[in-house]
Homo-oligomer: A and B are copies of this chain.
Amino acid sequence: MRMTNQREVILRELRKSRQHLTADELYERVKKDMPRISLATVYRNLEILSEAGLIQKLEISGRQKRFDWDTTVHDHIYCVQCHRVDNLELEHKSISGDTLKQISSYEITGYRLEFAGICPECKKKNSKKKEN
């Protein structure tokens, strides 16, 4: 994998953001440093960077994929109102090897635990609306 200029900028911006951005959110940010970059390049590189293990592709509920700068194993929670995504640190006590074997006739390759909820910001917004 060649480390091109656009690849570096994309990776830097995602890491800098500390958020779970969609391809086009990241595109908007990257464009500020590199106005001629194309959305297709952002998509292509996010794919390549996640294959290389430098970032993590997330397929959370909702339409758009999001990308996580943090490549360690962890879960996510997303806001059903604004669709932002945050990291979670949870122990998975009950999901042990034994449990997995009992589950089904599938050969299990992985699993995902994903929480949904209302983020603090949206909670605030909602209570303000109620006041009016």
List residues of chain A with CB under 8 Å of any chain B CB. Answer: 59, 61-62, 77, 79-80, 86, 88, 90-95, 99-100, 103-120, 123
Contact = CB atoms under 8 A, between A and B. Distances in A.
B90 A93 contact: no
Nearest to A105: B120
A95 to B, nearest CB: 8
- Count of identical protomers in the assembly: 2
Nearest to A87: B104
Given A59-B62, A112-B61, A106 B119 contact: yes
A110 B103 contact: no
Contacts of A92: 94
B112 A108 contact: no
Nearest to A61: B59
B120 A116 contact: no
A91 B94 contact: yes
A79 B106 contact: yes
Contacts of A116: 108-112
A8 to B, nearest CB: 29
